[in-house]
Amino acid sequence: MRALAILTVKNEGAFLLEWLAHHRAIGFTDFLVFSNDCSDGTDAMLDRLAAMGLVTHVPNPGPWPEGPQWAALKTADRHPLKAAADWVLFLDIDEFVNIHAGDGTVAALLTALPEATAIPLTWRLFGNAGVVDYTDAPVTAQFTHAAPDAMVWPWRALLFKTLFRNDGSYRKLGVHRPRSPDPARMAAQRWFDGSGVELPPLYHRSRLFSPPGEPHYGLVQLNHYALGAMESYVLKCDRGRANREASTFDMSYWVERNFSSEEDTSISRHAPALAAEMAELMADAALARLHAAAVAWRRRRIAELLLEEPFRALFGRLLLTPPSRPLPPAFAARMMALALRAQKARGETV
């Protein structure tokens, strides 16, 4: 069974080896990684990993009419590695698949859901939890507090990324789900959420969110470390968003993701395997040197940004802002009702 993870990166060399080590440890077999506009040596690190036979690296220079991420997805659609895969998942560098089924591997998840043709992996938003300084340590160990299961607002808490069987049922890749469904194949689709609950046929053709008000993490969840340390968030704002050529982050992005109300250390079951994979990667002198250079670049760039407006002001706001609190059920229901009314007013399917 070949499970392919597709990734796009820009200046993420400090985090790349942990992300790769984790997903190798849980059973992804192939990695198709696109890079663009790297100043920290991420592209050189990917070249080294490709020479070692661990990833396939595709440079993704602009310009991109729809942003670098969409350009990468279009290229990935035509790539031989995608054609050869049995299962495909598009991920970001701050997303870690956290499987609870069996021994925590992709194989165990597929064994638990043998009839599935697609498994939407619902985000679990991991907050900043007051971490100020960037440190060169595993993200999965630093950030252990998250939003509660079944949180319905903000709506992005229900977003998912889709692990799907690559059988030709969908003709295009998408950021959150496969696109362009083949009508002749839709009757055979079986979509199951992260708790093993079968989803209705509407999900076979559309939908980006798991059903509200239900737990979705029984078998698998997608740990989303969107914020990181406050210093790293400042640098993230400087970088911009991968699915747009020019777009910045701000405090609204932070507030709508900074949930730390529940401790979740379930991913630590993979810590020994992660450490072993990391040790193997860092045993390569070239990779170790490139990782150290990426860490040094990140620290230098953070120091530069904190001397500039508006980044220094943003950093101050981060220090001032406490963690976001999950809305009480009545207010969450009110916000969800307003969102549904807005959808209907726009003539969208609810």
Residue boundaries of the structural domains of the chain = 91-345
Interatomic CA distance for residues 6 and 42, integer angstroms: 16
Nearest CA-CA partner of 220 in 102, 129, 128, 63: 102
Contact 57, 33 (CB under 8 A): yes
Q: What is the pLDDT of residue 242?
A: 47
pLDDT of 29 > 90? The answer is: yes
Interatomic CA distance for residues 192 and 216, integer angstroms: 10
**Close Cβ partners of 274 (under 8 Å, ≥ 6 residues apart):** 18, 21, 22, 25, 138, 140
Query: For residue range 110-136, what is the model confidence (pLDDT) as tens digits?
Result: 999 999 999 999 999 999 999 999 999
**Close Cβ partners of 193 (under 8 Å, ≥ 6 residues apart):** 119, 120, 122, 160, 199, 210, 211, 214, 216
Q: Both tokens of residue 178?
A: 């496969």
pLDDT of 248 > 60? The answer is: no
Give the pLDDT band (50/70/90) at residue 246. very low
Q: What is the pLDDT of residue 346?
A: 87
Average pLDDT value for residue range 188-202: 97
**Close Cβ partners of 337 (under 8 Å, ≥ 6 residues apart):** none
Query: For residue range 40-53, what is the model confidence (pLDDT) as tens digits?
Result: 999 999 999 999 99
The whole model's pTM is what?
0.95
Nearest CA-CA partner of 326 in 152, 144, 66: 152
pLDDT of 256 > 60? The answer is: yes
